[in-house]
Amino acid sequence: MYQKEQQRQLFDLSKKLLQQTAEADQAAAKETTQQLHQVLHFHEWKYYIQNDPVISDFEYDTLFKKLEAIEEQFPELKTPDSPTQRVSNDLTNEFNSVEHLVPMLSLDNSYNAEDLKDFDERIKKRCMLEEDSDVEYVVEPKFDGGSIALVYENDVLVRAATRGNGTKGEEMTLNAKAMRTIPLRADFSKHNIQKVELRGEALIEKNNFDKINAQRAKDGQTLFANPRNAATGGLRTKDPSETAKRGLEAFVYQLGFAANENGDNVLDKFSTHNEGIEFLGQLGFKVPIVERKVCKNIKEVADFCKHWEAKREGYNYEIDGMVVKVNSLTLQEKCGYTSHHPRWAIAYKFKAKQATSTLETIEYQIGKIGSITPVAKITPVQLAGVTVSSISLHNEDFINSKDIRIGDTVLVERAGDVIPYIVKSMDDLRDGSEQKIEFPKECPGCQTPLIRAEKEAAWRCPNYQCEAQVLQRMTFHVSKDAMDIDGFGPSYIERFYELDWLKDIADIYQLDYEAIAQLEGFGERSASKLQMAIDKAKQNPIHRLLHSLSIHHLGKKASKLLAQEINHVLDLQNWTEEDFTNIKDIGPVVAENVLAFFNDASNIELLKKMESLGVNLVQTDDDKPVQVSADAPLAGKSILFTGKLLKMGRKEAQELATLNGAKNISAVSSKLNILVAGEKAGSKLKKAQAVGTVEILTEDEFLKLIGKE
């Protein structure tokens, strides 16, 4: 429908309009109005038809509000074809178009507590309530899926449709029937309701979404960008078995229409929105329960919204905000509607997780084993409240599979604490000036030709002396995961390296503390603190030392396994591949890399130098395998910790469990014996309860069980 070039122009025009300040006169306003019509239509098409938005919801809303503001100032510019005069359009010719019993409207948006307060004030004005009175609201999630309307007649589901343009939608009754959370029959007639229309949202659980994509990857199909796309696609597929396969679910959140056998409106059976939802819940519909709250006033509303914004990532459905509704239906009626949204409801939108930006350039980072990681430098954008300007592109295959180019407009996402990533490049917005990314053939640090081992994703610099690598190795050596030298961070490493005090990791153990005390920003105290931390690290168990050497593929776990088998680190010089692979959980790849390390004379020299400087190379008690007796309190049991523990950290708890004979596992299934539920335990607890055979303990009960009250 839109040519590529036109898409680029409309995108640029949108960005320009977003920057533009208020119009001086009617002529200027008229031009802007036309432009806004154009760009809003375009973005609706991208969002609803193509499922491929190129601007954020926030930007769309800003443009929409700009148009509303102009129309308010110059009412003669408000024409019937204005995007403010109708709701979005997703009709295609694939399905029967059906008319909704009552229009499905949109929602007005708010973004902070201030906006909510304004909303509350508007409600009180409309309802002619005292300024200091409290209005009761219901707050529920704003589900981010595909909206649906369900019609029941004489207790039977007779029709289901998508939202369409708000007045007419696409019929998808067969697909709705394939969704198990939608009852095919419900007892409305018992309550003298003969015909109803319900509003809801079709969704896919995040867990389920991951499984679907994993399967699609296996089958060589393109992956869905997010659960919403998987859900809306599943709603509009021609094949109901596909809807069923994707495990679509539907939450119902609104009673749109209800009539008795004479055709009279009987919505007034209920005095509040909440009663209506409870009623639907009792009839067997999936309605928000813990996610819904009746709030006494707007302050409680704001708190509940913030609470859910923080919880959003841990929730198993995608939500992009909360919806705030006046609870009393009498008050709702007093508020009424605009052509676009009900005046008695508002969406509270969470901070955007996605944004578009431009990929400016690529930098290449060199890791401790020489792996080259491409990092995209993008024009800084705000994502869920954080400024993002660098994003890892992982490796060459990732770049190629997503066809990412320099100069591209990219869609960036940051979910919770997860590191930001590039969802995709917008190839529709290219103008030809974008450059393909040429992955370097030589190390950007030392110019050694890069190598890529079979079956490995990363290109590596094979030069062990490569300066960038040496620095990374030293930084890793002192880090918490490795030798855990307290207070010794990357900035010290860089500084000492520049002073020529550090050439290899052994030099860390012969630093001149008197010289350090003289450095700017140091002093006697910090120098002696550092000395103490380094002296302490010299006594570390050898599994830490092995891990700290940055041997490719030798992780924490394998280091522990090796440390159990040797008296002295240098014993490994005499090992054969078989000696390694005889150890359960150690494979040929680890063997090969450790062998190569210990066959290199310079490495042996390095270790000997470290030993002469006082670093422990002999197996300690900490390195020996834990002996668990058969009568240990948790012998043979599998265990999982969930929620917040108050008396110990998660890791500590897991270690305690291991010491007492248990095996830590990561998911709830019938194989799980014990679940320790801390504060605010969520879905895992529910699942464990559902499994039925899992013993559920509190933190205290767990401690008591292992005799550690």
Hey, what are 462's tokens? Answer: 């094979």
Report, in Å, the least distance between residue 2 CB and ligand IVH. 23
Report, in Å, the least distance between residue 342 CB and ligand IVH. 5
For CA atoms 72, 75, 77, 79, the dihedral sign is positive
Q: By CB under 6 A, which span of 136-144, 431-439, 447-455, 629-637 interacts with ligand IVH?
A: 136-144
DSSP-assigned letters across all residues of 189-200: GGGT--EEEEEE
Pairwise CA distance, residues 548 & 377, whole Å: 30
Pairwise CA distance, residues 653 & 481, whole Å: 18
What's CA 454's distance to the chain center, in Å?
A: 32
Residue, CB closest to ligand IVH: 147
Out of 32, 35, 147, 327, the residue judged to bind ligand IVH by CB under 6 A: 147
Q: By CB under 6 A, which span of 48-56, 103-111, 117-125, 216-224 interacts with ligand IVH?
A: 103-111
User: Contact letters (x/-) for ligand IVH, 421-460, by CB under 6 A?
Assistant: ----------------------------------------
Looking at beta carbons only, is 107 or 160 nearer to ligand IVH?
107
Report, in Å, the least distance between residue 494 CB and ligand IVH. 50
- Cβ atoms of 640 and 672 closer than 8 Å: yes
* Catalytic annotation, pick one of 142, 325, 353, 684: 142
- Cβ atoms of 382 and 399 closer than 8 Å: no
Which residues does 651 contact at the CB level (< 8 Å), separation at least 6?
Answer: none
Instruction: Tell which positions 239-268 bind ligand IVH, by CB under 6 A.
Output: 253-254
Beta bridge partners of 162: 148
Pairwise CA distance, residues 143 & 323, whole Å: 9
Report, in Å, the least distance between residue 37 CB and ligand IVH. 20
- Which residue from 332, 327, 160, 194 is spatially nearest to 266, judged by alpha carbons? 194
Angle between helix 298-311 and 113-126 (nearest 10): 140
Instruction: Tell which positions 343-402 bind ligand IVH, by CB under 6 A.
Output: 345, 347
Out of 67, 70, 105, 466, the residue judged to bind ligand IVH by CB under 6 A: 105
Pairwise CA distance, residues 358 & 431, whole Å: 13
Instruction: Tell which positions 569-608 bind ligand IVH, by CB under 6 A.
Output: none
Report, in Å, the least distance between residue 171 CB and ligand IVH. 17
Q: What is the CA radius of gyration of the chain?
A: 31
Count of residues of this chain found to bind ligand IVH when the rule CB under 6 A is applied: 15
Q: By CB under 6 A, which span of 105-113, 118-126, 570-578, 648-656 interacts with ligand IVH?
A: 105-113
Looking at beta carbons only, is 291 or 413 nearer to ligand IVH?
291
Looking at beta carbons only, is 283 or 688 nearer to ligand IVH?
283
Report, in Å, the least distance between residue 416 CB and ligand IVH. 20
Looking at beta carbons only, is 160 or 653 nearer to ligand IVH?
160
Hey, what are 484's tokens? Answer: 């855990």
Which residues does 47 contact at the CB level (< 8 Å), separation at least 6?
Answer: 53, 60, 88
Report, in Å, the least distance between residue 235 CB and ligand IVH. 12
User: Contact letters (x/-) for ligand IVH, 309-348, by CB under 6 A?
Assistant: --------------x------------------x--x-x-
User: Contact letters (x/-) for ligand IVH, 174-203, by CB under 6 A?
Assistant: ---------------------------x--
- Cβ atoms of 74 and 29 closer than 8 Å: yes
- Which residue from 102, 81, 100 is spatially nearest to 91, judged by alpha carbons? 100
Pairwise CA distance, residues 313 & 262, whole Å: 47
Looking at beta carbons only, is 197 or 428 nearer to ligand IVH?
197
Looking at beta carbons only, is 32 or 88 nearer to ligand IVH?
88
Report, in Å, the least distance between residue 89 CB and ligand IVH. 12
Pairwise CA distance, residues 448 & 463, whole Å: 7
Category of 297 on φ-ψ map: left (φ > 0), alpha (ψ -120 to 50) or beta: beta
Check residue 107 for interaction with ligand IVH (CB under 6 A): yes
Looking at beta carbons only, is 254 or 642 nearer to ligand IVH?
254
Q: Please report, for residues 563, 626, 673, 700, the alpha-carbon distance to residue 660 in angstroms, rounded to integers and kept in the order given.
A: 21, 10, 14, 16
Check residue 274 for interaction with ligand IVH (CB under 6 A): no
Pairwise CA distance, residues 256 & 158, whole Å: 16
Report, in Å, the least distance between residue 148 CB and ligand IVH. 8
Looking at beta carbons only, is 56 or 106 nearer to ligand IVH?
106
What's the start-to-end Cα distance of the chain, in Å? Answer: 69
Looking at beta carbons only, is 248 or 471 nearer to ligand IVH?
248
Q: By CB under 6 A, which span of 99-107, 463-471, 493-501, 649-657 interacts with ligand IVH?
A: 99-107
Instruction: Tell which positions 512-541 bind ligand IVH, by CB under 6 A.
Output: none
- Cβ atoms of 269 and 240 closer than 8 Å: no
Report, in Å, the least distance between residue 323 CB and ligand IVH. 4
Looking at beta carbons only, is 265 or 435 nearer to ligand IVH?
265
Check residue 163 for interaction with ligand IVH (CB under 6 A): yes
Angle between helix 26-44 and 4-19 (nearest 10): 130
Pairwise CA distance, residues 356 & 46, whole Å: 14
Check residue 106 for interaction with ligand IVH (CB under 6 A): yes
Check residue 616 for interaction with ligand IVH (CB under 6 A): no
Report, in Å, the least distance between residue 352 CB and ligand IVH. 15
Q: Compute the CA torsion angle 60, 63, 66, 70 (nearest 10 deg).
A: -120
Pairwise CA distance, residues 281 & 200, whole Å: 13
Pairwise CA distance, residues 329 & 325, whole Å: 10
Hey, what are 341's tokens? Answer: 């949204």
Q: By CB under 6 A, which span of 138-146, 169-177, 468-476, 548-556 interacts with ligand IVH?
A: 138-146
Report, in Å, the least distance between residue 88 CB and ligand IVH. 8
Looking at beta carbons only, is 106 or 243 nearer to ligand IVH?
106
DSSP-assigned letters across all residues of 210-232: HHHHHHHHHTTPPPPSSHHHHHH
Q: By CB under 6 A, which span of 135-143, 234-242, 524-532, 543-551 interacts with ligand IVH?
A: 135-143
- Cβ atoms of 209 and 248 closer than 8 Å: no
Check residue 84 for interaction with ligand IVH (CB under 6 A): no
For CA atoms 538, 540, 541, 545, the dihedral sign is negative
Hey, what are 9's tokens? Answer: 């122009």
Q: By CB under 6 A, which span of 142-150, 378-386, 394-402, 573-581 interacts with ligand IVH?
A: 142-150
Looking at beta carbons only, is 142 or 477 nearer to ligand IVH?
142
Out of 143, 224, 257, 285, the residue judged to bind ligand IVH by CB under 6 A: 143
Catalytic (active site) residue 142: yes
Pairwise CA distance, residues 310 & 322, whole Å: 12
Looking at beta carbons only, is 305 or 551 nearer to ligand IVH?
305
DSSP assignment letter at 127: T
Catalytic residue set: 142
Residues that bind ligand IVH (CB under 6 A): 105-107, 140, 142-143, 147, 163, 201, 253-254, 323, 342, 345, 347
